């Protein structure tokens, strides 16, 4: 299952958040070699100070294996304030029904269960958790800046990215911005591809309520 952590529950999940920042360090600093802000063995930046919502995925043993950060687009966002070049000259999304996802990270074992197309089941679970989160807040989409590799993964998972503009190079990454649909249909596709039987968030979002 995936835990939704918001500002009101930060203190209750302080250890989980610390593990999440360490996961992000392993993925973004060590594995991908991105130029990111770090503090010791944790990766965190200015957007973490804006009281985002986090989806944190943990194993049955309590080890954090995946996470994603979510912020409303009515305030500062990475697509507006850090990577405006990916918008192709278009204005950044600023809509109460559109949130931004960033820092999507999964660090699952190579032997972890797989869904369709050889993708880790934990990846599908985190995707499904994002859609469930969006449905619970009646969002119409989630905007994100990602790389070409993740764009291909999203398409294979049944949740294709609708590009805002053509990809552009940022450092050693071919980056692209786009919208991810939030709908009952999107959730069904991701659940089906990932072999998921039902809700993944601790607070379930039922398709009938979407």
Distance of alpha carbon 191 from alpha carbon 197, whole angstroms: 7
Residue 145 maps to a domain: yes
Q: For residue range 5-52, what is the model confidence (pLDDT) as tens digits?
A: 999 999 999 999 999 999 999 999 999 888 899 999 999 999 999 999
> In this model, does residue 144 exceed pLDDT 80?
yes
What are phi and psi for residue 190, nearest 5 degrees?
Answer: -65, -45
Q: For residue range 151-194, what is the model confidence (pLDDT) as tens digits?
A: 999 999 999 999 999 999 988 889 999 999 999 999 999 999 99
Tokens of 29: 């600093």
> In this model, does residue 210 exceed pLDDT 70?
no
Residue 209: per-residue pLDDT: 40
Residue 113: per-residue pLDDT: 75
Structural domain of 84:
2-202
User: Can you give the pTM of this predicted structure?
Assistant: 0.92
152 Cβ partners below 8 Å, 6+ apart? none
Q: For residue range 75-110, what is the model confidence (pLDDT) as tens digits?
A: 999 999 999 999 999 999 999 999 999 999 999 777
Residue 207 maps to a domain: no
CATH code of the domain containing 167: 3.40.630.30
Distance of alpha carbon 166 from alpha carbon 183, whole angstroms: 25
Residue 112 maps to a domain: yes
- CA 197, 59, 3, 153 torsion: positive or negative? negative
Which neighbouring-strand residues pair with 175?
A: 147, 168
Strand runs (DSSP E) across the chain, as ranges? 2-5, 38-39, 42-43, 53-58, 64-72, 98-106, 141-147, 162-163, 168-170, 173-181
Q: In the chain, how many domains are there?
A: 1
């Amino acid at each position: 299952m995936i835990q939704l952590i918001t500002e009101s529950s930060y203190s209750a999940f302080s250890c989980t958040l610390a593990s999440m920042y360490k996961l992000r360090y392993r993925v973004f600093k060590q594995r991908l070699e991105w130029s990111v802000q770090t503090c010791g063995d944790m990766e965190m930046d200015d957007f973490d100070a804006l009281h985002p919502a986090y989806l944190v995925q943990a194993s049955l043993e309590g080890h954090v294996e995946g996470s994603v950060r979510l912020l409303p687009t009515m305030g500062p966002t990475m697509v507006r304030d850090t990577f405006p070049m990916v918008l192709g000259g278009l204005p950044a999304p600023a809509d109460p029904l559109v949130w931004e996802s960033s820092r999507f990270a999964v660090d699952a074992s190579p032997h972890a269960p797989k869904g369709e197309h050889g993708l880790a089941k934990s990846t599908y679970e985190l995707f499904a958790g994002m859609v469930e989160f969006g449905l619970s807040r009646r969002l119409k989409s989630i905007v994100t800046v990602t790389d070409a590799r993740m764009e291909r993964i999203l398409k294979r998972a049944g949740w294709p990215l609708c590009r805002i503009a053509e990809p552009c190079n940022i450092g050693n990454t071919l980056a692209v911005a786009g919208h991810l649909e939030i709908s009952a249909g999107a959730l069904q596709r991701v659940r089906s591809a990932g072999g998921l039987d039902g809700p993944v968030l601790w607070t379930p979002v039922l398709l009938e309520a979407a």
